[in-house]
Amino acid sequence: MVEWRDDAIVLAARPHGETAAVVSLLTRRHGRHAGLVLGGQSRRTAAILQPGQQVDANWKARLSDQLGHYAVEPSAPYPARILEDPLALAALTSACAVTDAALPEREGHAAVYEGLLALIDMLPTSAGLYAYIRWELGLLREVGYGIDLTSCAVTGVTDSLSNPLSYVSPKTGKAVSASAAQAYQDKLLPLPGFLCGRGEPSPQALRDGFKLTGFFLERCVFAVHHQPLPAARARLLDRLEQLMPVAA
Amino acid sequence: MIGAELDRLIQLLGKLPGLGPRSARRVVLHLLKKRETLMQPLASALIEADAKLLTCTLCNNVDVHDPCTICQQSGRDTHQLCVVEDIADLWAIERTRSIKGRYYVLGGLLSALAGITPDQLRIPQLLARAVAENITEVILALPATVDGQTTAHYIADRLREANIPASRLAHGVPLGGELDYLDEGTLATALTARRSA
């Protein structure tokens, strides 16, 4: 019998049979890991298996490659404030759906776990969406497709006020400075200033941030599995567009 | 050996929620023992229900009339609409006798995971009805889950665009609930939504 106990965040739960549920958890040490929760559709347990809920998970199986059974107990109160805020709720659903679809199963990614935990805390705040974009950048880095924002890919200069890093090459994922990008701006992805620690947060910066991470997630992570970006992420962008003023 | 008719009956009963092949066999044996008092009335009730029950074209409730009895009741507030996930929720709210208006059954919740979209939930029909009937309040009585609240926010947005006021159920301490036994999430929500005494 194989058994372990770990901290986890619920990513998704699908009904299985009449009473059970197959649950996908992001655990601290064991990565994204699915398991069967007996009675997972019961009123008490279904309330625990909400995306974003932190749980104390105990996994058991006869052999390590089996689906196995989970026993889950909530380890922290559900971030109830998120349920009241439509944008935060859409962002939480999107973060859980992206994690569930992007991370390989049973591969430890403690940084993604810690990042998601911090993101859930930040989502109901005004900086929540900026944190979300940074979290997607972290996820890309963790699965091996990090975007290099240290210096310009063409000239090698670092970010400065006179010549800021303003674009990212869609081919290499490396930053390009404003002066070096002049000839082919339309072929590059805009790099929002807040990702380099400067510039005021703005609706356009959010749009650019989501476009940037969405492009690399789609091309590097999802397209290789012939999957589109999760529908939950598209809904988050729709909601964002409804709430933000139209770009000038 | 079990005859083909009995075997078919066991198989069909075994498809009901909460019943498997073994419990279906027990049910069939029980029905056979009580043919006159249980089996025949049950069979005729099933045939009658199948023949007479309809889905209400206004609210998606199930009744022998279309529009259903609730939609036809004259004493109800025709400008108040209560939106619920399914018929069991409608029955639960109706037992409280707190809603003076009428209902609308969505038939599910928006779910990115299960791929359930607004069109599959008859949300456009809800909006059309709310506009056509000059509804002055839509009560979103949906579950306090991620999918439930996502659906509530979505419908509230669409109603706002149509200038129709919407309200949602409060979340908090249940009647008879000891604070000590409540989970932290519910207690935190109740504190956030506190009102002056």
Choosing from A24, A58, A78, the residue where a domain stops is A78
d(CA B103, CA A21): 31
Q: What is the pLDDT of residue A248?
A: 38
> What digits encode the pLDDT tens for the residues A10-65?
999 999 988 899 999 999 999 999 999 999 998 888 889 999 999 999 999 999 88
User: Is there a domain that residue A180 lies in?
Assistant: no
d(CA A33, CA A27): 7
Domains and CATH numbers, chain B: 4-52 (1.10.8.420), 62-168 (3.40.1360.10)
Residue with tokens 């009730």: B45
Q: What is the pLDDT of residue A73?
A: 92
pTM, whole model, 2 decimals?
Answer: 0.84
Question: Hey, are the CB atoms on A97 and B112 less than 8 Å from each other?
Answer: yes
Please report which confidence band the pLDDT of residue A247 belongs to, taking 50, 70 and 90 as the band edges. very low
The dihedral over CA atoms of B26, B31, B34, B35, expressed in degrees to the nearest 10, equals -150
Question: Hey, are the CB atoms on A86 and B153 less than 8 Å from each other?
Answer: yes
The token pair at A27 is 């655990």
Across the interface, of A79, A80, A89, the residue whose CB is closest to B150 is A89
Q: Nearest residue on chain A to B170, judged by CA atoms?
A: A84
d(CA B88, CA A190): 50
Q: What is the DSSP letter of A15?
A: E
Q: Check CB contact of B113 with chain A, cutoff 8 Å.
A: yes
d(CA B49, CA A39): 31
* Domain total in chain A: 2
Backbone angles phi, psi at A158, to 5 degrees: -90, 175
Q: What is the pLDDT of residue B104?
A: 95
Residue with tokens 């559900």: A78
* Residue A203 pLDDT exceeds 50: yes
CA distances from A226 to A101, A104, A221 (A): 12, 15, 9
Across the interface, of A81, A89, A231, the residue whose CB is closest to B115 is A231
Q: Which of A93, A99, A240 is best to mutate for the B interface (most B CBs within 10 A)? A: A93
Q: Tell me the chain B residues in contact with residue A49 when contact means C-beta distances shorter than 8 Å.
A: none
> What digits encode the pLDDT tens for the residues A223-241?
988 889 998 999 899 888 8
Claim to verify: residue A12 and residue A117 sit in the same structural domain: no
Q: Which domain holds residue A15?
A: 1-78
Claim to verify: residue A17 and residue A140 sit in the same structural domain: no
Residue with tokens 């209902």: B103
User: Is there a domain that residue A172 lies in?
Assistant: no
Q: Tell me the chain A residues in contact with residue B113 when contact means C-beta distances shorter than 8 Å.
A: 12, 14, 97, 232
Tell me the CATH number at A65: 2.40.50.140
User: Is there a domain that residue A164 lies in?
Assistant: no
Q: Which of residues 84-143 of A touch B (CB under 8 A)?
A: 84, 86, 89-90, 92-93, 97
Q: Which of A128, A106, A104 is nearest to A116 (CA)?
A: A128
Which secondary-structure segment (H or E) carries A184?
A: none
Claim to verify: residue A30 and residue A141 sit in the same structural domain: no
Q: Which of A56-60, B162-166, B181-185 has the lowest mean pLDDT?
A: B181-185
- Work out the minimum CA distance from B135 to partner chain A, whole angstroms: 24
d(CA A218, CA B170): 39
Q: What is the DSSP letter of B65?
A: S
